[in-house]
Structure 1
């Protein structure tokens, strides 16, 4: 029986496992999943959770339910020993060795915001659901504080938010924060006439660089939506330092009481033997890493070159899924002695929500805006959720929210223990 070890609990891991299910059931393959957490977190709903349309637990799926025919080990892989075909795992029992015949590296990425001095101390990052809930708590707390003071300067400070990064994440979070703040402020008569001031600080020439070259009409529409939400965007602004009450640019100071970093991610690459990778793993068109036929790679940690334009493939959930499917197919082909196939995927598109009924989307090269883009994005996300029963829960929660109102109650972190907060939340949900 071949031993396949998959590192990670994201979409590359999920789709690789699903492609191997027939071989698992036939007992020709044994799959072991090694993941840092026992849950899969669906990041597509981050804006909806932050704006109060969905609750935090809507983003969770149990990995044991997803990988029901595999062995799940919760821990952190610290090293790959390709010579002996083993990996080292650090978990609650210490360091363990795990052997493999085929190894799939899909360990994802971490937030890049921590690379800016002061980011870890004074800004919010989008690393986990706890981070998102903490940001939501801070927004609601600041609105409460603003309502309690007659000092207009101090009130204005409480209602200032800075977002570093003008990509999809930054634009979506800006819209979500504004929607949350506007709904929450309706409960404070003393804040009538006040508005939150949200500024997007973007280093590049224009926001949404992913769309600038081929879909300028979508960038223009996104700007229109942002301006209607009273969100301003400042380009050519490099943040050099983050402080408690604002950020330092190369030549000026910008004040803000809440600072959110959305400046991309850094791949979680693991050392292989004695080699430490600083960037993504160089990956062949079969999705095996260079110089090792038994190690496969996909998702955020893989440098996969597109077969047509010869540029790196995007790092998002859809591409991770397709790469996972291809890895699973090629491992099966290798098992039967068949030739391996090159990765060929054209891409589907990309989308962003800028509040209820406002969206931008590029689908197979066709630009779509407005309500249609917004609803198509939701339908695609529901389809791609790893557990269909969770997708049903999200639909029911959407309907419930539109009837009863948004989730505007803060969940204070003091309710949770210092460690394993996601596990605690899941236990609460299941009970």
Structure 2
């Protein structure tokens, strides 16, 4: 184990993860803990929190990528920030192991309280070729890459003459019919339409979008009637919706199967495969001594303290997607826990911060209880669906739902500075239109410089002309 780097030597609240929960816990506690003689420390491999509900709009080119993230350094002025990954927690000895983001040697960090807020990662299955050919939609980098790939494939296909290769380039597949998948495919389709309008060599009917969903319906967060309307809406835009269908192979030709009878469904080639089929608790939690439930999440009480069969674990807290938080409203998952979404994570973080501070002074703590306000989804400009639980259930479709989606998330993204940037981003887009500028070589930014700095090879010397054969002397007899 490497020597611990120079850290602030004060009683520490260690926050593992800088996402929704980590950011808000630090925001709410940093000043109070500092005034009490302690320090809040956030450990995360990224220097920012990603507002994931905006990832489809980033992929669709409606939001600037930097506006969908919140800088830790800019907003956590009184927090100790460590860019790295917690790889283990020994709560009995109040220490955690941190692996620096730059690949340096791991080191130990002591703490007084720990807040486990490492969130979730994409859940995948052992499907051949998926790791090589697929891309998720869980990070801002994936959203940017997806936007650029849609634009790049359309541009490249416009000059292709081979019909099969052209069809492959213009086929976009999204696996997963939840909110992320539906918003992703509709934003991509909107972006593709805008790009095709600017390219006379491509016809809209050549572009193919396919949604693959293993269940018999999409978007379980909305009513069955609304889900049926969404399917109809997708198909009206030319998007193929394949229900009760699973991806069986992504190696080369995509192979789909019908789940009810396990028979082959379709086979086709596609250059773009997006995987949005669910999430799972961050596996780092398995490298701790905290109790876990069957789905791999840490067990917590309604007041967000970690607890196992032997009772409450002092000075240990958790919330968000990595925690099995009981839903006291009775409207959560079948196992009685809260749905893993941003709405719950943001509110759990605020309750956790209040309870942790109360515990320092032996004051009463409150349980987390929040009735789901509903769900809103945007399907591109002026299109969407919403199920709002305010003064009764209100179902919205089309433009009104799209406005509700933007209104809710425009207010929900953390910090006033980011709210202003996002809202002005939207207003500018409505006036100037969607930006379909393609950014190239983001994965190889030094390519142009390396090419310029590399001396051109010297041309090969021209071969010497072959010597002409000697001519026989002309004699008098030959004349």
State the TM-score, normalized to the length of structure 1: 0.90
TM-superposed CA distance for 1:86, in Å, is 1.0
Determine which of 17, 24, 30 is the counterpart of 1:8: 17
Deviations 1:156-214 (A, max 9, x none): 33221111111111111111111111110112212235342111111011111233xxx
State the 4+ residue runs in structure 1 displaced beyond 6 angstroms: none
Quick one: higher RCO (CA 8 Å, sep 6+), 1 or 2? 1
CA distance in 2, matches of 1:233, 1:194: 16
Deviates further, 404-413 or 157-166: 404-413
Q: Give yes or no for the alignment of 1:286 onto 2:303.
A: yes
| Residue matched to 1:240 | 248
After superposition, the Cα gap between the structure-2 partners of 1:273 and 1:8, relative to the gap in structure 1 and judged at 3 Å, is closer
| Residue matched to 2:344 | 319
**Any gaps of 5 or more consecutive residues in structure 2?**
1-9, 448-479
Structure having the larger proportion of residues in helix = 1
CA distance in 2, matches of 1:267, 1:416: 33
CA distance in 1, matches of 2:282, 2:398: 36
CA distance in 2, matches of 1:117, 1:286: 43
How many residues are paired up?
415
| Residue matched to 1:399 | 427
CA distance in 2, matches of 1:273, 1:156: 49
> Contact between 2:154 and 2:196, CA under 8 Å: does it hold in 1?
yes
| Residue matched to 2:286 | 271
> Contact between 1:78 and 1:271, CA under 8 Å: does it hold in 2?
no
Determine which of 296, 305, 308 is the counterpart of 2:329: 308
Determine which of 93, 108, 130 is the counterpart of 2:141: 130
Deviates further, 166-175 or 139-148: 139-148
| Residue matched to 2:378 | 353
Q: Give yes or no for the alignment of 1:53 onto 2:62.
A: yes
TM-superposed CA distance for 1:28, in Å, is 4.5
Alignment of 1:13-32 (within 5 A): 13-24=22-33, 26-32=35-41
Deviations 1:50-87 (A, max 9, x none): 12222222222211122111111111001110111111
CA distance in 2, matches of 1:273, 1:297: 13
CA distance in 2, matches of 1:382, 1:4: 30
CA distance in 2, matches of 1:108, 1:247: 32
Determine which of 251, 263, 275 is the counterpart of 1:251: 263
Alignment of 1:148-159 (within 5 A): 148-159=159-170
TM-superposed CA distance for 1:15, in Å, is 2.1
CA distance in 2, matches of 1:200, 1:359: 17
Determine which of 58, 62, 79 is the counterpart of 2:71: 62
Deviates further, 79-88 or 154-163: 154-163
CA distance in 2, matches of 1:415, 1:112: 28
| Residue matched to 1:421 | none
After superposition, the Cα gap between the structure-2 partners of 1:401 and 1:231, relative to the gap in structure 1 and judged at 3 Å, is same
CA distance in 1, matches of 2:129, 2:95: 38
CA distance in 2, matches of 1:358, 1:193: 19
CA distance in 1, matches of 2:64, 2:128: 32
| Residue matched to 2:198 | 187
After superposition, the Cα gap between the structure-2 partners of 1:417 and 1:245, relative to the gap in structure 1 and judged at 3 Å, is farther
| Residue matched to 2:156 | 145
CA distance in 1, matches of 2:329, 2:425: 41
Determine which of 37, 44, 61 is the counterpart of 2:53: 44
| Residue matched to 2:233 | 225
State the TM-score, normalized to the length of structure 2: 0.81
CA distance in 2, matches of 1:193, 1:99: 58
Deviations 1:267-315 (A, max 9, x none): 1142355579561111111211124121111011001121132622011
Determine which of 176, 179, 190 is the counterpart of 1:165: 176
